[in-house]
């Protein structure tokens, strides 16, 4: 009683409809109420993969001076959202349907990088893997699996 | 960038379209290749909730004589599938899109009960909570969150 | 190859070591940098169960005027943290090891309530179910499964 | 309130304590009751990564002739278990504490391959990513995140 839904849409190399700059402009307009600095930015976008980054600010820290869990999960969600938009364009109203986050290592208060990759882009659901790290990509601080519903 | 998809379908008290007997007959026909005894059965079905049960057999045990993880996850998946069918009827070809399972306590080789409840029945996705236990429902051996895609 | 770790610690009715007021005081001291109003508060605490609430503010909203996903996940995490502290006391440094969140329905900009219940309190891991809702507990906006590591 | 537990153990290149043959022998002895052919085998083991494979048999199929969800999840769990054993040796009694599985594409009845990689090997928890595919590794049929508790 189990497998993916319907025929998967191919993720071709021509699939990118928005570059990093366009994604950042879209996000800034969509979230005008975000406190300054609280929203990460897209660093690069290519077919099937996006990189986003967040500079930590004081309110993002938890006891011990580490970057808080909700901050990490928020960046993972933003990276996944940008990855979906990059492929389907700015018109669509995509919404998160699930976010599973594994906390792997203490997250030191350094610039936090998120790499999001497409596992599957279907007509109705997009499923993505997101890895978060500070200094060393081979030692991630967290890993997320994020599902977006596509309208 | 996050919340449920579209307008939720109401889960009304008239929502049950298949009772326990009809569900078991449907499952037996759908899975003719299952080795005898390897498939649990639906014990009861009511709006928003189903109970299923599995008698453990030798091949379901892991080292230490406990019921294996895949057996537990299989029963959780079956209970979720039956819960969807009970509400949408036998015609539809629903498929699992995600299953998150938490192993909570050692699962002794006793009859294993699964209680599945609807968290949301949408037009395209059904999300369910499933609790598994042997003797004591207040001390579950596992908990699952299962998402089905509805065609 | 699968079940809970070790012998579970019983969750007795005498298990509460911190009431709601003590939990709120502890959280306020632990997170002095939180912007005012951005942290929910514990409404009630009892053995095995806690209720927390968050009044939404402008910066928590996403396009469409709904409460953002990270805000929902942050409240779920906070409620789970408070539930652990209520049972093990204020000394311990517990950290989230996993948070799985299912977005179920659009989250309107109303006071958001989280009900967290213990699935298992072990010596090393606590696993909790969290339901979030605004008006109607039977129509949750989200459901989380949260695991905390206990030092 | 969130990040990994304790100081992570380094996953060094000298970390492999069991090769594929030793792992298969261990699994055969640990699960003597498995019906013949129902257990996948380890194909290769190296530091931080393992490959396992399962030939589908009749009882693993679901309606439509596809490989069932529990079969996929069982192989993901087995691969994760073998990856833990490869690093900590055959003595330890490791148990699954969580398995999150995303069904991505229909799983055709062909040999099913699982690639498991270590995200973190701690003293108490090991967290792994597992990808399952049949013909094309770049089009996975499923993805799992598996956590094992180490005694």
CATH code, domain carrying D68:
3.10.129.10
CA-nearest residue of chain D to A7?
A: D105
CA-nearest residue of chain A to C100?
A: A100
Q: Which two tokens stand for residue C86?
A: 């209520």
pLDDT at C58: 86
Q: Which two tokens stand for residue D72?
A: 């996929």
Cβ atoms of residues C112 and C132 within 8 Å: yes
Q: Which two tokens stand for residue A41?
A: 């930015």
Nearest to A50 by CA among A73, A26, A16: A16
CA B90 to chain CA mean position, Å: 15
Q: Given pLDDT bands bounded at 50, 70 and 90, which one contains residue C14?
A: low
Residue D72 touches chain A, beta carbons under 8 Å? yes
pLDDT at D9: 43
pLDDT at C10: 42
Residue A12 touches chain C, beta carbons under 8 Å? no
pLDDT tens track for C56-102: 988 888 878 899 999 999 999 999 999 999 999 987 688 999 999 99
Q: Is the pLDDT of residue C20 over 90?
A: yes
At residue B87, the 3 state secondary structure works out as helix
For residue B14, is it within any domain?
A: no
Question: Which range, of B129-143, C11-25, C43-57, averages the lowest pLDDT?
Answer: C11-25
At residue D20, the 3 state secondary structure works out as helix
For residue D2, is it within any domain?
A: no
Q: Given pLDDT bands bounded at 50, 70 and 90, which one contains residue B34?
A: low
Cα angle: D105, vertex D107, D110; to 5 degrees: 145
Q: Which two tokens stand for residue A101?
A: 């986050």
For residue C52, is it within any domain?
A: yes
Across the range A118-129, mean pLDDT stands at 95
Nearest to A127 by CA among A1, A39, A3, A19: A3
pLDDT tens track for D12-60: 445 799 999 999 999 988 877 665 567 899 999 999 999 999 999 888 8
At residue A24, the 3 state secondary structure works out as helix
Let me know how many helices (H) and strands (E) chain C has, helices first: 2, 8
Q: Given pLDDT bands bounded at 50, 70 and 90, which one contains residue A10?
A: very low
Q: In what order do the strands lie in the sheet with C95-103?
A: A41-46, A49-54, A112-121, A125-133, A142-149, A95-103, C95-103, C142-149, C125-133, C112-121, C49-54, C41-46
For residue A31, is it within any domain?
A: yes
pLDDT at D12: 47
pLDDT at A35: 58
Residue D34 Cα, gap to closest chain C Cα (Å): 13
Q: Got the DSSP string for C26-69?
A: HHHHH-TTSPTT-S-EEEEEETTEEEEEE---GGGEETTTEEPH
CB pairs under 8 A between C and D: 51
CA-nearest residue of chain B to C98?
A: B102
Across the range D132-136, mean pLDDT stands at 97
pLDDT at A62: 82
For residue C8, is it within any domain?
A: no
Most distant CA atoms of chain A, gap in Å: 47
Q: Given pLDDT bands bounded at 50, 70 and 90, which one contains residue C3?
A: very low
* D56 phi/psi in degrees, rounded to 5: -70, 140
pLDDT at C59: 83
Residue A103 Cα, gap to closest chain C Cα (Å): 5
Cβ atoms of residues A100 and C98 within 8 Å: yes
pLDDT at C110: 97
Give the residue with greater pLDDT, D79 vs A6. D79
pLDDT at B33: 64
Stretch 107-146 of chain B: residues touching chain C, C-beta under 8 Å: 107, 119-120, 127, 129, 139-143, 145
Q: Given pLDDT bands bounded at 50, 70 and 90, which one contains residue B35?
A: low
For residue B11, is it within any domain?
A: no
- Name the pTM for this structure: 0.90
For residue A64, is it within any domain?
A: yes
Q: Which two tokens stand for residue D41?
A: 């085998």
Question: Which range, of A59-73, C135-149, D31-45, averages the lowest pLDDT?
Answer: D31-45
> Between chains, do A4 and D69 touch, taking CB under 8 Å as contact?
no
Q: Is the pLDDT of residue C13 over 60?
A: no
Distance separating alpha carbons of residues A81 and D54, to the nearest angstrom: 35
For residue C83, is it within any domain?
A: yes
* Number of domains chain A is built from: 1
> Between chains, do B5 and A151 touch, taking CB under 8 Å as contact?
yes
> Between chains, do B103 and D98 touch, taking CB under 8 Å as contact?
yes
Domain span at residue D104?
20-149
Q: Given pLDDT bands bounded at 50, 70 and 90, which one contains residue B8?
A: very low
Q: Given pLDDT bands bounded at 50, 70 and 90, which one contains residue C34?
A: low
pLDDT at A14: 53
* A63 phi/psi in degrees, rounded to 5: -50, 135
pLDDT tens track for B45-98: 999 999 999 999 888 888 788 999 999 999 999 999 999 999 999 876 889 999
pLDDT at B10: 42
pLDDT at B5: 41
> Between chains, do A142 and D3 touch, taking CB under 8 Å as contact?
yes
**For a pLDDT cut of 70, what percent of chain A falls above it?**
86
pLDDT at C8: 41
Q: Which of B1, B66, B103 sits opposite C62 (nearest CB)?
A: B1
pLDDT tens track for D75-119: 999 999 999 999 999 876 889 999 999 999 999 999 999 999 999
pLDDT at D13: 42
CA-nearest residue of chain B to A93?
A: B1
């Amino acid at each position: 009683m189990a497998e993916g839904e319907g025929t998967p849409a191919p993720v071709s190399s021509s699939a990118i409809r928005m570059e990093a700059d366009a994604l950042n402009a879209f996000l800034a307009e969509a979230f005008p109420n975000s406190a300054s600095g609280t929203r990460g930015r897209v660093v690069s976008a290519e077919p099937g993969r996006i990189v986003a980054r967040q500079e930590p600010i004081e309110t993002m820290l938890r006891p011990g001076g580490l970057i808080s869990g909700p901050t990490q999960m928020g960046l993972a969600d933003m990276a996944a959202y940008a990855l979906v938009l990059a492929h389907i364009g700015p018109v669509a109203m995509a919404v998160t349907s699930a976010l599973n986050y594994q906390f792997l290592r203490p997250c030191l208060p350094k610039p936090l990088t998120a790499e999001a990759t497409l596992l599957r882009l279907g007509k109705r659901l997009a499923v993505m893997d997101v890895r978060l790290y500070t200094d060393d990509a081979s030692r991630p601080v967290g890993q997320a699996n994020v599902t977006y519903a596509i309208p």
